[in-house]
Structure 1
Amino acid sequence: MIYVVLFITVIYLIFIGLFIWGYDKVNTFHLHDIEPKTTFTVVIPFRNEANHLPALLQSIKALAYPKHLFDIIFVDDDSTDASVKIIEEYLNNCYNISIIKNKRISNAPKKDAITAAIKTSKHDWIITTDADCMVPKYWLNSFDASIQGTKSKCIVAPVKLLLEQTFLNQFQVLDMLSLQGATLGGFGIEKPFLCNGANLGYEKTLFYELQGFEGNTHIASGDDIFFLEKALKHSPKKVNYLKCEQAVVTTHPEISWKSYIEQRIRWASKTRHYKNSFGKLTGLIVLLMNIVIPSLLILSMAGYLSFKPLLYLIIIKFSVDLCLIYQSALFFDQKDCLKSYFISFIIYPITSTYIAFSALFRPYKWKDRTFKI
């Protein structure tokens, strides 16, 4: 037993250590004043986002990129609230924003929405974000400068959660920071395996070359990860991470533990379909490590094992996880959430294990719809 635990711990340390090292290998991109050239279509699927759309629209209004070089397509996925009305009221003064209806052709409504928008898009590059996000002023400028400098075909960009003072919020922020740290670290060691559809860009021609989401439309989620896998297989040297402060998209946290759990189950449900072996192995090692800690605690309390190995394991995991999260917290300017790290560290192995096993056996709810695993 102890040798199995030791093996898992060593492998976990190696993986997280690689991400910490890889994080700094990705150079920070500093935005320079250059002439904008790239044309963009921003695709924003939405369903019942009336509470969040005003903030998104306000951030879109503040974009510094020349309006003739981009347009925005909102895709209505059968909203039943005032979402469409809110956008239509905003359209009066914006010639480069439009709304279309989603055309459902698969089990994946968001993939259908993105595909429908791309079919009507007029520009060279597609950037996706979500209706519960806020985009920074120089968002498109950052993408343009990166494209001109790197000749990328696909760009993964940073996402952070809006930081508030509740424990639930800070728990989610820490979780997101760890994911962003792993995303960046993966790119740094040239083993990318994560991205977020709230801030993802790619050439329209690449989308069609890869036949869009064909091959995974039976999976409700994963418009980002599965496309990334295809892009990496097709043009691995043309997929890059945009580590730029002016490119960070901010999204809202879940408002309850129930909605947070459902969101994470949705995210976890697609992992079994990953084709990236490194991503699968990383997920397995992280899961095993999170199972080991509560298991050792139970064995120690039952008298089958000394508390000393458990204490050593906790100290090791606590320290290495903190290093990765601290790097992300510095970049995203969210160090305030670290005050909740200790309690979050105790809770996380339990919640993540529950989410992982739930994703194997039960359906999840998303946007008032139920999806089978």
Structure 2
Amino acid sequence: MSTILLIISALYALMTLILWWGWRRIPYAQTTPTTDGPLISVVIPVRNEADNLPHLLADLARQTYTRFEVIVADDSSTDTTVAVVQALLNDLPYTLHLLPLPNEKTGAPKKRAIAESIRIAQGELILTTDGDCRVGPDWVRSFAAYYRQHHPRMMTGPVTFTDSSMKPGWTDDISPNERSSANRVFGQLQTVEFSSLIGSGAATLALNNPTMCNGANLCYEKRVFEEVNGFAGIDHVASGDDELLMHKIARRYPGGVQFVKNRGAIVQTAPHSSWAAFYQQRKRWASKWRAYESWHPSALAVFVFVSNAAPVLAVLGGTAGAIVWPTVLLIIGLKTIPEFIFLRAILRFLQKPQAVWWIPATQLVYPFYVLLFGLAAQQKGFTWKGRSLK
């Protein structure tokens, strides 16, 4: 067994170093001054974001690139989201459209919101984000400038978590100090874990093998969305408005999907405040694996699952006396050292140097996390925005 675990761990180390090399070969994108670039339609699908959306709309009012419109597609919110948007319609320096959607039963509400927004969008480019996100002043300009320079069909962007305290949701029997401490620890662990997804998605794009992206920071040509028939064929999956669409576009335009490696393009969002919310989100993301047409993302997911099981099995084997401890330490080192090198590079780009110190703690729990969600992905059903979806 030790030989098999060593081989798996060595292959994982090689893969991680290849991802690190892929990340390093992505050139930094220049945010050049642009005033005559493409008209961009910023699409924001929302549901119950009355507390968060005003901050994002205010961020958009401070953009250094002004050739854009904003479409807020409200998916039958039960809070005051619609009223909040209506109150701001005439107070912002850009064109803001409110698109209320009927409360119809659908298995992919976010896809419906985006597709309906694109129907009325006037922009050449569609730039999507979420209602609970925050963007810097050069966000729109970063994509406009990159598009003028390279003309890709789709651009994926970096996403990370804010450093502020997380949203409320903890029980009342936790003291403020305990809550703050727990928030920080959980938030830092999520920041490290999420950076691995962003970095892996960017690196595999650089290696011409698209795997992952995030709909909180995604830009594509409107005409290309229409050419690939939008979400047709993948609209039965609740998630996948980002990755599954990216795979459709990449198949039609090989090399046409690129990562915008520019700090001005970074989108930030708050980490989850509870394990339950975190679990439901990751389970929702995992639900799209069954819809992958290419075997590469699925094979990568299986390989990551097996590789994270290797150190757990090695420690169990060492404890049982089946594997000598020097071999156990070698297996652990083959996984953790290349991971640290890769994650440190991503976190530094995302301007999260403090999170680098949390990499070892994340590595300690990550094998169990991967095993948990690898098994959870086999079960259908999850909760999203107060709805039960499949």
Residue 302 of structure 1 and its aligned partner are, at CA, apart by 3.1
Correspondence for 1:75:
73
Tell me how far apart the structure 2 counterparts of residues 60 and 178 of structure 1 sit (CA, whole Å): 28
Contact kept? 1:157, 1:248, Cα under 8 Å: yes
Number of positions where the alignment pairs a residue of Structure 1 with one of Structure 2: 370
Correspondence for 1:143:
143
Correspondence for 2:289:
271
Tell me how far apart the structure 1 counterparts of residues 54 and 99 of structure 2 sit (CA, whole Å): 18
Q: For structure 1, which segment, 40-49 or 289-298, has the greater mean C-alpha deviation from structure 2 after superposition?
A: 289-298
Correspondence for 2:226:
208
Residue 62 of structure 1 and its aligned partner are, at CA, apart by 1.1
Residue 190 of structure 1 and its aligned partner are, at CA, apart by 1.9
Correspondence for 1:44:
44
Q: For structure 1, which segment, 286-295 or 223-232, has the greater mean C-alpha deviation from structure 2 after superposition?
A: 286-295
Equivalent runs, 1:124-203 vs 2, <5 Å: 124-164=124-164, 166-203=184-221
1:86 equivalent among 74, 84, 87: 84
Deviations 1:62-115 (A, max 9, x none): 11222xx21111011111112222222221213600111225574100000001
Q: TM-score, normalised by structure 2?
A: 0.91
Correspondence for 1:332:
350
The 1:258–1:106 alpha-carbon spacing in structure 2 relative to 1, beyond 3 Å, is closer
Deviations 1:121-172 (A, max 9, x none): 1121111100010121111111111111111121111111112571100000
One-letter amino acid matched to 1:206: V
Residue 47 of structure 1 and its aligned partner are, at CA, apart by 0.7
4+ residue segments displaced more than 6 Å? none
Tell me how far apart the structure 1 counterparts of residues 325 and 284 of structure 2 sit (CA, whole Å): 35
One-letter amino acid matched to 2:58: Q
Q: Structure 2: any 5+ residue segments left out of the alignment?
A: 165-182
Query: What is the RMSD computed on CA atoms of the aligned residues?
Result: 1.6
Correspondence for 1:109:
109
Tell me how far apart the structure 1 counterparts of residues 163 and 332 of structure 2 sit (CA, whole Å): 27
One-letter amino acid matched to 1:136: G
Contact kept? 1:24, 1:188, Cα under 8 Å: no
Tell me how far apart the structure 1 counterparts of residues 34 and 74 of structure 2 sit (CA, whole Å): 35
Residue 51 of structure 1 and its aligned partner are, at CA, apart by 2.5
Tell me how far apart the structure 2 counterparts of residues 10 and 352 of structure 1 sit (CA, whole Å): 19
The 1:358–1:301 alpha-carbon spacing in structure 2 relative to 1, beyond 3 Å, is same
Q: For structure 1, which segment, 280-289 or 72-81, has the greater mean C-alpha deviation from structure 2 after superposition?
A: 280-289
Tell me how far apart the structure 1 counterparts of residues 194 and 154 of structure 2 sit (CA, whole Å): 22
Q: TM-score, normalised by structure 1?
A: 0.95
Aligned partner of residue 377 in structure 2, secondary structure: helix
Q: For structure 1, which segment, 330-339 or 304-313, has the greater mean C-alpha deviation from structure 2 after superposition?
A: 304-313
Q: For structure 1, which segment, 279-288 or 93-102, has the greater mean C-alpha deviation from structure 2 after superposition?
A: 93-102
1:237 equivalent among 230, 255, 277: 255
Aligned partner of residue 45 in structure 1, secondary structure: strand
Tell me how far apart the structure 2 counterparts of residues 260 and 297 of structure 1 sit (CA, whole Å): 27
The 1:289–1:200 alpha-carbon spacing in structure 2 relative to 1, beyond 3 Å, is same
Q: For structure 1, which segment, 296-305 or 231-240, has the greater mean C-alpha deviation from structure 2 after superposition?
A: 296-305
Residue 238 of structure 1 and its aligned partner are, at CA, apart by 2.2
Q: Structure 1: any 5+ residue segments left out of the alignment?
A: none
Residue 277 of structure 1 and its aligned partner are, at CA, apart by 2.5
Tell me how far apart the structure 2 counterparts of residues 210 and 117 of structure 1 sit (CA, whole Å): 17
One-letter amino acid matched to 1:57: L
Residue 362 of structure 1 and its aligned partner are, at CA, apart by 4.2
Aligned partner of residue 229 in structure 1, secondary structure: helix
Tell me how far apart the structure 2 counterparts of residues 51 and 337 of structure 1 sit (CA, whole Å): 27
Residue 230 of structure 1 and its aligned partner are, at CA, apart by 0.6
Q: Percent identity?
A: 30
